[in-house]
Structure 1
Amino acid sequence: MTPQHNYKIKRKMKSGEFRQKSAHNYAQIADFYHEMSSLLKSRSKQNIEPLEELTVALEELNVAQEELLQQNKELEQARTQVETERQRYQDLFELAPDGYIVTDDAGTIQQANRAAAELLKVPQQYLAGKPLMIFIPSSELLLFHLKLSQLKQGEKIPEWELNLKPRWGNIFTAAITLSELPQPQNNSVSWLWLIRDISDRKRTEATNQMLKQELWKQQQTEAILRESEARFRSLFENSPVAYMLLDDQGRYLDVNEQLCNLLGYTSEELLGKSFGEFWSPEMKPFFDQQFVYSKNNEIMRLEVPLIAKNGDQLTVLLEGRNIYHKNCKFVKTHCILYNITERKLIEEDLRHAHMELGRINQELKHLVNIDALTQIANRRCFDRVLEKEWQRLQREQQPLSLILFDVDYFKLYNDYYGHQKGDQCLFKIAQAVKEAVYRSADLVARYGGEEFAIILPNVNTEGAIEVINRIQTSISSLGIPHQQSPVSDVVTVSFGVASLVPEKDRSFMLISQADQALYKAKQQGRNQYIIAT
């Protein structure tokens, strides 16, 4: 609604009042005219001259009456036109696609059109009498009051943006245009608010701004890429190492001079050919599989055997970086090739040397820890293992058993059968005992001469006796003849057993107890075991 519209409505109201007064005056004139006509008829014969004057007056009144009728008709036409204009402006106000709100100078809503009600998500009749500020977020209230203050001071305010908060839904951005509506009848001022939802426009502007930024970034990226490509080309062509560029099928896209020198081909002979064609015959069938695997990894690093043009086999270390599109599709790969042929030969020599050193170390270890005659642990190994197990079981407070045994009347055996048979006898007994003591943690060792020792970690006396029983069975099954033995016609052994939970650093106590038990077994007739007490 415009100020002119409001003014025409007021004119219409004044024209109606004037029409009522004109009709009243016309009625008075008509009554006066009839009275005068009657008076003339009654007094026409009495006084002619006054009557003539009255006749003229009546004619003048009649003309005035006709003029009043014409004015009344014109006023009626004006009233109809004003009413039509008022209705047209009212329709324009109601049907306008943008929101219109009329407020007083305090911001209270006096009138609102349908579009404004739809923007604010409320019934149209709800708005009248409500303060406009209830639809304004708290963060925008300061701006709202500032604009009202500027209007009251007579400042002209251009279109401005204001966030509005509908009754439900999301806050939206509106373009606000304010117009003054004077109210002459009460010397007050109203304000016409034109409200247009520009959320879509703001989103479009934001999108356009983002696109501009993206375009700028793209341009910057392209400039950087061009500069990078120029630097890369310079490095590519002048690098002291071999460079190549492969497509998604593993074909040469580009090569530098160093690669040509490495393989002995010209660039024309290489470009367009598969990199796999230059792999060694035994590796060539695996090229496709290896290349597919490498394409799935951003960084590629592998050793490749290649065949040069002169037939020489080269080993190269290939380091590549794959390039992908934004959709993660593989495009190409940049590769550097280092000739490591000499290094691989040196590595192979070192590998053989390392293997030989390992073999020698094993032999030395064997010589250090293994008794040459019986091929079981020697005294040095026994002492080291006993000390280690003593310390461990002392911490864990678990039992440790030791069995000492020797061959009964072995000197008589040696004197009768000879030292060679004696050595064979000791070897057979040592191997039989080793098979009977099958736990990996146990140790069978030659303690000295015909005497042997068995270390049994985490084993108590009962467990040690079970081991002795197995050993006796194994040795008896050997059936080694001993015609000079007073106790049996075959070789037998005597055992001394000691078991305890280690305390302090006194492993010698375990050896002493087992040795004393062995001595008792010999004193009591041999071919038996005695448990230390």
Structure 2
Amino acid sequence: MIKILIVEDESVVAWDIQETLEQLGYKVVANVTSGAEAIQIPTAIKPDLVLMDIQLEDEMDGITAAGKIRDRFDIPIIYLTAHADEYTWQRAISTNPYGYLVKPFQERELQTTIEIALRRHQLEKRSQEVKEQMISSLISIGEATIVTDHQGRILSMNQAAESLTGWSLPEVLGLDAQQILTFIQAQTHTQIKNPLMQSLHKGIQIQLSSNYLLKTKNGKEIPINSTATPIKSNHGEVIGSMLVFQDISEQQPAQKIQQQSQQQEKLVATFSQSLRQPLKLEEILNMTVTQVRQLLENDQVVIYRFSADGSGSVVAESVASDLLCLLGWEGRDPWIADPNYLSQYQQGQIRVIEDTYKADLKQGQLRFLEFFSIRSKVVVPLLTGKHLWGLLICHHCSVPRQWSQWQIESLKQLANQIGAAIDKAELVQQLDQANQQLQYLASMDSLTQLANRSWFENYLDWEWQRLAQEKSPLAVIVADIDFFQELNDTHDNQDRDNYLRQIASAIRQAVEQPTDLVARYSEQEFGVILPNTNTSGGVWIAQKMRGIVKRLKLTNFSSPMKRYITLSLGVASIVPTPESDSKILVDAANKALYKAQTEGGDRVVLEKFSKKLGTFLSNE
């Protein structure tokens, strides 16, 4: 059960919120009135979420308390407030809240905001875990690897690096890498600048070839190949550096072996750097097939993605120009993803077929491979966690091929990197969708599904500035339900809400342009913004709204004059100017609305603007 802490100094409001939460199935672990109490609760009982009133009466306000809870306990915060000035709003934003509820709020709005906040927090935690897993994966690769922070202090060193340098991780943890690692130019035997520090300061990859030596703890100088790569945050900020290096003293002089090792190193380093970037899924897949084909020097590389129903399709491909393409191929047939090997793939096992004619393949599979001239293949599973997401498949065509051990190992290492990158990209996509949903809910009225007052005011200001530049008219309509208070007194909440939904839908039907905005302005008032609309156009739309609502024939026995629900509407239109304020247009429409109501309702009143007098004049 989700545990929630309520911090609210108005006891009636607090107990009302607690009762609502418990009805929704949440557990309220505490209901406190001060910031000081709030920051003590998580030390004993850690809640899953905190509902925090911004304005608290004691010395510590809600924003300060929220900041302390976030820093100490990493608990998502949703702010509660009736109002807030700009300074308070900016302070609240700086604490990275997970939601913002303006009192009073509906039960559905409260539940939706809580669920989105919890989901966002879950996704962010998972994204952080993926980042940590990727660093752990980099450290676990076979090559000697050292990772530093943004100041060049050593954070991690794998066993291969310990073996090569003679240093153990406990000895060097937190020390400056320049104190531990000395690099020497082989020909001149002069010390050079540490490549880790160069990578940090320049923000680029630094490579050292076989012309350089590394001085170990005991003074021995060993020839190495190394690559220092900056580690960057999602915002492009350099937050550390990673050094991958190899002892090449026992390598054979054969140029081919050396080039293959360098290509492997370059590819792994490139992937490591690329995975720090906010890449989209399509970019990750296309980059993978291109670089793997380049590394292995084979004819075709594809990525096959499984669907939920057990089928799948080829979603990325790099292929020689003289061969047939597989991109887009889909189906349930076992020609690409052999179902007999799914269990092995799910365990991370790689399948190698050096010669398709010597493999135990069914006739249908063999004909498929012959059609595409495939003679040899390596199939590498792509796992996201424990889920078999897809397959990385390397084809060699026309003739058989022997795949070397270093190629298989490289593919296995890269598959781990790719799986982590895919997982991260999909998590980021889910987080973006959750944020978009949160932004949408923040701008909408949950009952009528119209824009809320906040969005109405923001949109009005934006259109005011735009139309001031274009010197085009802007009209505003404010509509009120006649005798709504009497209706409210004589009907239950469900009937009243149904009426409001039907009236909102009717008003929305009357607008004609996609740029027109209909909003719920207050409990029974509706606001309409009509860009590029003059007075006659505004009156026309208002009369349409009045007529459509009247034709609904929603009974209103509480009205002393009307049998059915009717609207009073105030209209105002003006050509905005940069130096004027949009508030004058809303005030004019409200003034016209007031006159319509005092004259008995069920009518439209226009507040005309007099250029001569520089003010508005009412006119029915």
Q: Same fold (TM over 0.5)?
A: no
User: Which structure has greater helix proportion?
Assistant: 1
TM range (shorter): 0.3 to 0.5
Which of the pair has more CA radius of gyration?
Answer: 1
User: Which structure has greater strand proportion?
Assistant: 2
TM-score, normalised via structure 2 length = 0.37
